[in-house]
Structure 1
Amino acid sequence: MREHHIGQTVVPYEIDWVEDRETIGLSVDQSLELTVRAPMTATVGEVEEVLTSRQEWILEKLYGLKEQSEPPYPKEYLSGEKLPYRGREYHLNVIEADVPEPRLSFDGLEFTLEVHHLDAPADDVSVRRKRQAVIDWYLRQAKQDLPDRSPQYESKLGLSDISYDVCELSGRWGEFDNRAVRLNWRLILAPVRIQDYVIVHELAHAVHDEHSDAFWNTVGTLIPDYEDRREWLRVNGNALIV
């Protein structure tokens, strides 16, 4: 593990030497580890020059987590609470009904959660059952809505035969592998512009494997303000839970 000094701040980093790579790229993951991906021909001195030129960016990444939104308080799924959907908050109305298990619906103005009278109290079991009903609705909606946003971007990138899977992804919003895009269902809670950014990000990996300058140029061609959208997701991603 090497060290780069920014004033009094010591930043440990690792160099990942990559064949056929032409530029030096930096990335900071969720564990705040700095990784440098460099061509096989690059020297440590050249890597240090890039680190020096990107010091402001590095500090923003390392300390930016302090700005992230705190996760909201756990819900009890009672009338009067609100549920997020596509970047907006909607009133939740809980009613007793003749249903074997909780069932969520949305009419465009508010959410309605039908529950058996035994699930009406806010005990741990009923809360878990109601939460699962809410997640099931979001998952169904995400599987319907998110892939429908992709064709407009696929055509601009000259892509076809891309498959989509909306599921639970741990620690990431999307991933691309072997012409398949996987999207985190929680994106359905975010504004549509944020959903589009993640979709374009993953589709760009069909053209560029690494987060190179060419990769970000491709993303920027389709989403000119992608940096603002990426920053929104970094700051607000923790709050996209139900």
Structure 2
Amino acid sequence: MTHAYQYHIGQTVVPYEITWCEGRETVGLRIDESMEMEVRAPMEATVSDVESVLDERKDWILEKLYGLGEQADTPRGKEFLSGEKLRYRGRQYRLRVVETGSQSPELSFDGDTFTLEVHRFDAPDDEVSVRRKREAVVDWYRGRSEEELPERAERFAPKLGAEGVSVGVGEPEGRWGEYKDGGVLLNWRLVLAPVRIQDYVAVHELAHASHDEHSASFWNAVGSLLPDYEDRREWLRINGNSLTV
């Protein structure tokens, strides 16, 4: 029997599955090429027993799952002041902050520069002002992601036999995307990534419409559309931490 769980390492959420096996004496961990963790445990082991083993192997999990030694550092928290840069579709663009009569901060983009219109009370870098400005920036990204990500994904659906599969945008916990109940949900933060990475996640999830497991046939389906999918997957593994606001 198999059950799905989540293990937390700081703010990192690691989804995993436990399979209880007859005759097994120890807890074993495995992270396959899809970067998902599988746990095999003795029949008498409890979830608490398994998590104790995960605690002991925390460093190994991070190194295997996210390439901690290679992973790009998480960017320092932004204050959303003029001169900072915002990432969009794999490139970084300068941010310009201007004071207007706007009651709430509002972000716009002209293809070259981001402009954040703020009330004079939101111009400083105090905690409340930073929070309000960040909310405006996140709202803009979410709006763009809802326009762009499904459109990109839907181009691949017919080639994967996934016509009719709905594609939405949200924030699946600990994942860049997921296929569930006949639909694909893509993480809105992908709009910060290069479009080739957006396409990789979309194709990966759409392929699950025909393939439950990360089998050879699954990867053949992904590779038929994206022959360099391993490079794209590696980019995301190393640079995923940088896709944040």
Q: TM-score, normalised by structure 1?
A: 0.77
Q: Are 1:104 and 1:112, in contact at CA under 8 Å, matched by a contact in 2?
A: yes
Q: 1:83 Cα deviation (Å)?
A: 0.0
1:38-86: CA deviation from partner (whole Å, max 9, x where unpaired): xxxxxxxxxxxxxxxxxxxx99836822110110010000000000000
Q: Which of 25, 29, 32 lines up with 1:27 in the alignment?
A: 32
- The aligned counterpart of 2:215 is 212
- After TM superposition, the structure 1 = structure 2 runs for residues 1-242 of structure 1, keeping only pairs within 5 Å, are 27=32, 33-35=37-39, 61=64, 64-242=67-245
Q: Are 1:142 and 1:166, in contact at CA under 8 Å, matched by a contact in 2?
A: yes
Q: Are 1:28 and 1:35, in contact at CA under 8 Å, matched by a contact in 2?
A: no
Distance 1:28-1:16 versus aligned 2 partners, 3 A rule: farther
Distance 1:63-1:75 versus aligned 2 partners, 3 A rule: closer
- Mapped to 2, the partners of 1:14 and 1:167 lie a distance apart of 26
Q: 1:150 Cα deviation (Å)?
A: 1.8
Distance 1:180-1:233 versus aligned 2 partners, 3 A rule: same
Structure with max Cα Rg:
1
In the alignment, residue 115 of structure 1 is paired with which amino acid? Answer: V
Q: TM-score, normalised by structure 2?
A: 0.76
Q: For residue 69 of structure 2, give the secondary structure of its aligned residue in structure 1.
A: helix
- Mapped to 2, the partners of 1:68 and 1:175 lie a distance apart of 22
Distance 1:83-1:179 versus aligned 2 partners, 3 A rule: same
Distance 1:27-1:142 versus aligned 2 partners, 3 A rule: same
Q: 1:169 Cα deviation (Å)?
A: 2.1
- Mapped to 1, the partners of 2:230 and 2:238 lie a distance apart of 12
- Mapped to 2, the partners of 1:125 and 1:107 lie a distance apart of 27
Q: Are 1:28 and 1:34, in contact at CA under 8 Å, matched by a contact in 2?
A: no
**Structure 1 unpaired stretches of 5+:** 1-12, 18-24, 37-57
**Structure 2 unpaired stretches of 5+:** 1-16, 22-29, 41-60
1:184-212: CA deviation from partner (whole Å, max 9, x where unpaired): 00000000000000000000000100111
In the alignment, residue 93 of structure 2 is paired with which amino acid? Answer: Y
Q: Structure 1 vs Structure 2: percent identity of aligned residues?
A: 59
Distance 1:99-1:195 versus aligned 2 partners, 3 A rule: same
In the alignment, residue 143 of structure 1 is paired with which amino acid? Answer: E
Q: Are 1:28 and 1:62, in contact at CA under 8 Å, matched by a contact in 2?
A: no
- Mapped to 1, the partners of 2:215 and 2:237 lie a distance apart of 20
Q: For residue 156 of structure 2, give the secondary structure of its aligned residue in structure 1.
A: helix
Q: For residue 79 of structure 1, give the secondary structure of its aligned residue in structure 2.
A: coil
Q: Are 2:104 and 2:119, in contact at CA under 8 Å, matched by a contact in 1?
A: yes
